[in-house]
């Protein structure tokens, strides 16, 4: 079987040369284990900072070792009661064609729901959006909400949850005119803008002329600065990610107007989704309900080609080639 290793640590933007496809032998199965063939795998922004040799909330990837990440696998061989070949499991050993799993979690997909959504809107992506907006930013009906990275996986769900939970206005930023059109025409955002097209604070003020109560931050840097400028007193920010800095060779400066947070009595709160597994059921019930009723659109970009397409898909996601969740499909 084959898997993808980190061949070298990227400096700045990663390239195909930082990765290597390696052929390996599968270990024999022990009691309690299953062998799966991966069907879908996730490529995520957080994988980029994990390629740096720095201490963080997850240990860094190691040079010469396989990468890992969210995946859905189909059981090929099983030493676990209740799991038989053909069953699906959600697990953390993506970036490889086959995986031997110790504590497999069986997936019982709801009929009519694409299996890939369990890596997106009905998985970690959905939970991140749900917890970030409702628990971390303390969203309340009537809030005006700004979401950056709004056409991406987390952003597209966060903005839709805000709309469905009764936001007074939902504004999004994204990286192309097509994405802006997706936000306003398909996902129900009240206004959206392309952050390449001008001064961020001015664009945000035009899209949210009465200001904002909540900012869902996927981007950091200049987006966070613009949001601090637009937030009302007692405004709340969920610090979800800072993708604008992930490929920077040197850390960019922080928001220059952070001092405004004092007078505005702002709350800026970071979070990591894996601490919030206790909210998974609530998310699955509410988001699953909106998905079933058609009120929430599960946007995703599925790249065909399995392992051979995985690195290209990952690099493409960092450059913004995805709308919604970026997923790799194995044939
Ligand atoms: P996305 O689907 O949003 O993909 C990344 C997107 O980022 C790209 O499509 C691109 O869209 C945008 N982007 C890339 N570079 C820049 C830039 N310089 N400025 C603005 N936008 C940029 O990924 P996810 O939804 O999976 O993740 C979104 C954020 O949420 C990330 O910061 C991620 O790290 C974070 N996250 C945090 C979690 C947590 O537990 N705190 C859990 C999961 C995700 P565009 O064309 O618009 O530029």
Mutate to test the pocket of ligand 1, among 154, 192, 275 (most ligand atoms within 8 A of CB): 154
**80-126: per-residue pLDDT in tens?**
999 999 999 999 999 999 999 998 889 999 988 999 999 999 999 99
C-alpha 241 to ligand 1 mean position (Å): 7
The answer on 185 and 89 residing in a single domain is: no
Distance CA 241, CA 267 (A): 16
**Binned average pLDDT, 10 residues per bin, the chain of 331 residues:** 98 97 96 97 98 93 98 97 96 98 92 95 98 98 98 98 98 98 98 97 98 98 97 98 94 92 98 98 98 97 98 98 98 87
What are φ and ψ of residue 252, in 5° steps?
Answer: -75, 160
Contacts of 154 (CB under 8 A, 6+ apart): 125, 128, 129, 132, 218, 240, 241
Residues 142 and 92 in one domain: no
Mutate to test the pocket of ligand 1, among 241, 242, 319, 323 (most ligand atoms within 8 A of CB): 241
163 and 257 part of one domain? yes
| Distance of alpha carbon 174 from the chain centroid | 14
Q: Is position 283 within any domain?
A: no
Range of the domain at 11: 2-116+300-329
Beta bridge partners of 100: 35
Q: What is the CATH classification number for the domain harbouring 306? A: 3.90.180.10
Count of domains forming the chain? 2
Q: Looking at 259, 274, 289, which one is the last position of a domain?
A: 274
pLDDT tens-digit series, residues 196-247: 999 999 999 999 999 999 999 999 999 999 999 999 999 999 999 999 999 9
The reply to whether 97 and 186 lie within a common domain is no
User: Is the beta carbon of 45 within 6 A of some atom in ligand 1?
Assistant: yes
Task: Give yes or no: residues 49 and 82 share one domain.
Answer: yes
Whether residue 135 is found in the same domain as residue 112: no
SS3 label, residue 306: coil
Q: Does some domain include residue 285?
A: no
Same domain, 95 and 218: no
Torsion of CA 148, 149, 151, 154, to 10 degrees: -100
Instruction: Please tell me the distance from the alpha carbon of residue 139 to that of residue 159, in angstroms, as a whole number.
Output: 11
How far is ligand 1, taken at its centre, from the CA of residue 309, in Å? 20
**Atom nearest to 46 CA in ligand 1:** 34
In this structure, the residue with its CA closest to atom 35 of ligand 1 is 241
Looking at the structure, tell me whether residues 186 and 310 fall in a common domain. Answer: no
What's the CA-to-centroid distance between 150 and ligand 1, angstroms? 9
Out of 116, 133, 152, 227, give the residue to mutate to test ligand 1, the one with the largest number of ligand atoms within 8 Å of its CB. 152
Is there a single domain that holds both residue 254 and residue 135? yes
151 CB less than 6 Å from ligand 1?
yes
State both tokens at 225: 């600065």
Of 149, 156, 192, 283, the residue with max ligand 1 atoms within 8 A of its CB, to mutate for a pocket test, comes to: 149
pLDDT for 250 equals 86
- The pLDDT value recorded for residue 252 is 83
Closest residue by Cα to atom 16, ligand 1, is 244
Pocket lining: 89 vs ligand 1, CB cutoff 6 Å: no
Instruction: Give the number of the atom of ligand 1 that is nearest the alpha carbon of residue 243.
Output: 32
For residue 279, is it within any domain? no
Domain-ending residue, one of 256, 274, 292: 274
Q: Do 144 and 267 belong to one domain?
A: yes
C-alpha–C-alpha distance, residues 76 and 256, integer Å? 54
Residue 162 lies in a domain: yes
193 in a domain, yes or no?
yes
Say if residues 44 and 107 touch (Cβ distance below 8 Å): no
244 Cβ closer than 6 Å to some ligand 1 atom: yes
Residue 290 placed within a domain? no
User: Measured in angstroms, how far is the CA atom of residue 86 from the centroid of ligand 1?
Assistant: 33
Q: Is the residue at 55 inside a domain?
A: yes
Residues 136 and 88 in one domain: no
Tell me, what's the pLDDT at 52? 96
Task: Tell me whether residue 256 is in a domain.
Answer: yes
Q: Give alpha helix (H) positions in the chain.
A: 124-130, 153-164, 177-185, 200-207, 221-230, 260-263, 280-293, 307-318
The CATH number linked to 191 is 3.40.50.720
Q: Distance between CA 230 and CA 225 in Å, rounded?
A: 9
Shared domain for 262 and 314, answered yes or no, is no
- Tell me whether 0.95 is exceeded by the ipTM: yes
pLDDT of residue 253: 83
What is the per-residue pLDDT for 239?
Answer: 98
């Amino acid at each position: 079987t084959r898997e993808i290793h980190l061949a070298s640590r990227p400096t700045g933007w990663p390239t195909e040369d930082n990765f290597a496809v390696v052929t390996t032998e599968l270990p024999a199965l022990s009691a309690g284990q299953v062998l799966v063939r991966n069907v879908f795998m996730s490529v995520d922004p957080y994988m980029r900072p994990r390629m740096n040799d720095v201490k963080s909330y997850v240990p860094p990837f190691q040079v010469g070792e396989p990468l890992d990440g969210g995946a859905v696998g189909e059981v090929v061989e099983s030493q676990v009661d209740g799991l038989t070949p053909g069953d699906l499991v959600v697990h953390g050993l993506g970036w490889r064609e086959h995986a031997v799993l110790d504590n497999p979690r069986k997936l019982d997909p709801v009929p009519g729901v694409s299996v890939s959504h369990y890596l997106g809107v009905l998985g970690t992506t959905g939970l991140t959006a749900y917890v970030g907006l409702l628990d971390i930013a303390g969203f309340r009906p009537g809030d005006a909400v700004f979401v950056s990275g709004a056409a991406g996986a987390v952003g597209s769900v966060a903005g839709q949850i805000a709309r469905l939970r009764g936001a007074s206005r939902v504004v999004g930023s994204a990286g192309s005119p097509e994405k802006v059109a997706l936000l306003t025409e398909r996902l129900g955002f009240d206004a959206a803008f392309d952050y390449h097209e001008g001064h961020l604070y001015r664009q945000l003020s035009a899209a949210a002329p009465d200001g904002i109560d909540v900012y869902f931050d996927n981007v950091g840097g200049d987006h966070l600065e613009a949001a601090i400028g637009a937030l009302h007193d007692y405004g709340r920010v969920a610090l979800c990610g800072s993708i604008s800095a992930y490929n920077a060779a040197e850390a960019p400066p922080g928001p220059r107007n952070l001092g405004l947070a004092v007078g505005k009595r702002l709350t800026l709160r970071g979070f990591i989704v894996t601490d919030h597994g206790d909210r998974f059921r609530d998310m699955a019930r509410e988001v699953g309900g909106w998905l079933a009723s058609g009120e929430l659109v599960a946007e995703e970009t599925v790249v065909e080609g399995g392992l051979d397409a995985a690195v290209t898909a990952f690099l493409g996601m960092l450059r913004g080639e995805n709308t919604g969740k970026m997923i790799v499909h194995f044939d």
